[in-house]
Amino acid sequence: MIVVTGMLMCLTSTNGKVSHAVLVPQCLREHVLCLARDSSGHYGVITTCSLINFNVTWPSLYADIQSYIKNCAISILLIKRIVRRKLLCVNLTS
């Protein structure tokens, strides 16, 4: 870890490419999750992790994203809507 312009940074590796990422303090993590997910679309865990992990990181990032998505009211409604559509599209004659 290094300090760059007053921010604690750490080295991350994505697809073999090494880069610097800001280490987000505990008090700002939920805000980062909200900005990355609610502002850009309600993506799943992997896409959300890729969006966030591009610039910032923290030790429990993946687990925090999973928890945030699991408890997201909009995502819960979207999943129920998708399941309902799949059930309605089943052909009962065959």
pLDDT in tens, the chain (94 residues): 777 777 787 876 767 777 778 888 999 998 888 887 766 666 777 777 777 777 888 888 889 988 888 887 666 666 666 555 555 555 556 5
Query: What strands lie across the sheet with 17-23, from one edge to the other?
Result: 2-4, 7-14, 17-23, 56-57
36: left (phi over 0), alpha (psi -120 to 50) or beta: alpha
d(CA 48, CA 42): 8
Instruction: Please give the backbone phi and psi of residue 56, each rounded to the nearest 5 degrees, phi first.
Output: -135, 165
Provide the pLDDT for residue 84.
Answer: 57
pTM, 2 dp = 0.62
Residue 35 CA: distances (Å) to CA of 13, 49, 94: 23, 13, 46
Contact present, 14 and 47 (Cβ < 8 Å): no
Contact present, 40 and 50 (Cβ < 8 Å): no
Strands (DSSP E) along the chain, which ranges?
2-4, 7-14, 17-23, 56-57
Provide the pLDDT for residue 79.
Answer: 64
Provide the pLDDT for residue 2.
Answer: 73
